[in-house]
Amino acid sequence: MAQNLNPIPPELFLWEEALPGGCHWSGILRRGNALRLTDMSGRANVSALFYNAEEKLERYNMPDTLKAQHTAHLTMGHVCYSDMGHVLCSLIADSCGWHDTVCGTSNAAMVQAKYGESSYQTHRNAMHRNGRDGLLVELGKWGLGKRDVVPNVNFFSKVVADEAGKLQFDTANSRPGAYVDLRFEMNVLVVLSAAPHPLDPRPDYAPGDVMLTAWKTGTPGADDVCRNSCAENQRGFYQTEILFR
């Protein structure tokens, strides 16, 4: 089955939900289903964490993901590894090209210092929100908390390092309509915050809206691009698939 589907065929469609800029979301995505994140305005950042829904002590592991695939960023062909050597999800399509893995989230102090005070009392649901608190609220719904916050993926954000390691945020990375498709290889708890990236240098608080679209993609075949992007991933997929035998 072709994995790169745009638009998604109606017979495969499962559900769609808007995630407004700044807001947070969590839910379960099952093995064989996919989630498309679409950057509606070109200014979205989606901080994401992934947990094995059946054993939430198993979770996305940034270093294992980067080391296995010899990469510091994510794009099509890469997968997100758990700390137990399993593939949680695969990037089966990506019209953006670079997703950050090393900068973490904004927090309340950072957002207040950068964008000023904007509380619920004065701004109702247009209040400023930050990535860490968004993730913590969603994690709390599943019995998780501060101990479970690990380095996250920041979808749609690009941060480049020079030779000395100094970081530069690329404001031109995404664009309106850019999307990334995540196919789930396990039953996964997905936790998202659409608050601004912590290194976004733009002075105004204007996190982009995101559309979440789920569909049935099926499980990957022997010729899958993510499975075959490196020998490490072939082993990772094998170890994931034996869980479901």
Partner 1 sequence: MTTFNLVESSLDPKTAVYDAVVNAGDPWIHEIRTGQVFRILDLEGNQAVDTLFYNAYDPEERYSAVDTVRAQGALYLTTGTQLMSTEGRAMLTITADTCGRHDTLGGACSCESNTVRYALNKRPMHSCRDSFLHALAHYDGGLTKRDITSNINFFMNVPVTPQGGLTFADGVSSPGKYVEMRAEMDVLCLISNCPQLNNPCNAYNPTPVRVLIWNAPEQ
Residues that bind partner 1 (CB under 8 A): 57, 61-64, 66-68, 70-73, 81, 83-86, 98, 102-105, 107, 109-110, 145-152, 160-167, 198-199, 232, 235-236, 238-239
Q: In this structure, what token pair is assigned to residue 225?
A: 């691009």
Q: Which amino acid is at 124?
A: R
β-sheet with 73-74: strand ranges across: 24-29, 188-193, 46-52, 153-155, 99-100, 73-74
Nearest residue (CB) to partner 1, 69 versus 217 = 69
CB of 136 to partner 1, least distance (A): 10
Alpha-carbon span 21 to 115, nearest angstrom: 15
CB of 215 to partner 1, least distance (A): 28
Nearest residue (CB) to partner 1, 187 versus 240 = 240
Distances in whole angstroms, Cα of residue 190 to Cα of each of 20, 46, 63, 217: 16, 12, 19, 17
Alpha-carbon span 33 to 13, nearest angstrom: 10
CB of 150 to partner 1, least distance (A): 5
CB of 167 to partner 1, least distance (A): 5
Query: Which residue reads 């031109």 in tokens?
Result: 172
Nearest residue (CB) to partner 1, 63 versus 176 = 63
Nearest residue (CB) to partner 1, 26 versus 82 = 82
